[in-house]
Amino acid sequence: MFLRIGMMAVAAAAVVCLLLALPAVAQTGSGAVDASASDINYFDFFVTKGGWITFGLILLSIVTIALTIEHAMSIRRATIVPPDALERTRAYIDKKQYLEAIKFTADEPSMLGHVLHAGLTEASNGFTAMERALEESLEERSARLFRKTEYMHIIGNVAPMIGLLGTVTGMILLFAEIHAADAFPGARDVADRIAIALITTFWGLAVAIPALSIFAIFRNRIDVLTAECALAAESVLDVFKPGSSAAPTATAKPPAGGAAETTPPGTRAS
C-alpha cells in the first residue's frame, strides 16, 4: 500500500513539473507573444481551466501509472514461474524428499509454488486427485491476477465518459451565458470556451487509450504465464503418474545413516 502511494506521488510530481515547464501558448497570428493577453501557459489552459473534471482525470492517469508499475513488478515470469523454485522442487522429488518438497512449496509465494503445493498435498489420494487440485489452484490464482487488471479496464471505460461529461457541461454553460446576455459573443471568445470544453474529452481519451492498451497487454501476459505454469507443474508431478518410469515405488529407500523408511506421496504402505 505504501509503495503504491509513493509511486503515485512521484508520478503526480513528474506530471505537474512537466506541465509547468512548458512555454506559454497565448500567441498572435504572427507567432509573437501578445502583450495584452494574460500569461496563459499549457498548465493553465489544459489543467486549471478544465476545472474539477480535469483534475479528476489527471488523478485517474496517476492511478493508471501506479497500476502499470505494480503489474509490471508482479505479473512477470520471475514471480509467477520462477525457474529456481521449479528446479528445487524437482530436485526434492528426484531425491524422494517429499516432505521437504511440500514444505518448500508451502513457503514459495509464486503461482508455481502454490499450484505445486496444492498438488503434492493431495498425493495420498492418488494422481487424479493431484491433477484436480492442480487445476483448481491454477484457476484460482489466475482469476486473482485477472481481477487485479480489471481496475485498468474500468479506468479505460470510465475515463472517456467523464471527459464527455465535462465537454457537455462546458457547452451547456456556454449556451446558457449566450442566452443570458441575449447577444452572441465574439468568435475569439466562443472558440476559447469551446476549446476549454473539449479539454476534458482530450484528457478522457489520453487516459483511456493507454489504460486499455496496457490492460490488454497484461491480460495476454497472464494467459501466457498461466499456461507456462501449468506445463511446469505437470512436468514435476508427472513422476507420480501410474505407469511412469520415474513413478515412486511403494516405499522410498531410507536415507544414509539407517533412518526410518518413509512412504512417498501418492502411494499407500502395504
Phi, psi of 161 (to 5 degrees): -65, -40
pLDDT at residue 270, as a whole number = 35
What count of other Cβ atoms lies within 10 Å of the Cβ of residue 155? 23
| Each residue's pLDDT expressed in tens, for the chain with a length of 270 residues | 445 544 544 554 455 455 445 443 334 343 444 434 445 566 666 777 777 888 888 889 999 999 999 999 999 999 999 999 999 999 998 888 889 989 999 998 999 999 999 989 888 888 889 889 999 999 999 999 999 999 999 999 999 999 998 888 888 887 887 878 777 777 777 777 788 888 888 999 999 999 999 999 999 999 999 999 999 998 888 888 776 655 555 444 333 333 334 444 444 443
- Using N-to-C axis directions, what is the helix angle for 111-120 and 98-107, rounded to 10°? 140
Vertex 77 angle, CA 74 and 78, to 5°: 75
Q: How far apart are CA 240 and CA 254, in angstroms?
A: 19
Phi, psi of 260 (to 5 degrees): -65, 150
Q: Which three cell numbers stand for residue 91?
A: 530436485
pLDDT at residue 229, as a whole number = 92
pLDDT at residue 29, as a whole number = 40
Vertex 104 angle, CA 98 and 106, to 5°: 105
131, 133, 135, 139 alpha-carbon torsion, rounded to 10°: 180
First to last CA, the chain: 52
Q: How far apart are CA 236 and CA 89, in angstroms?
A: 8
Phi, psi of 262 (to 5 degrees): -120, 150
Put simply, whether the predicted model's pTM sits higher than 0.85 gets the answer no
Note every long-range contact of 115-124, with CB atoms under 8 Å and residues 24 or more positions apart, other chains counting: 115/141, 115/229, 115/230, 115/233, 116/89, 116/233, 116/236, 116/237, 119/233, 119/237, 120/237, 120/265, 123/98, 123/240, 123/264, 123/265, 123/266, 124/265, 124/266, 124/268
Cell 517429499: give the residue. 98
pLDDT at residue 142, as a whole number = 92
Cα Rg, the chain, nearest whole Å: 30
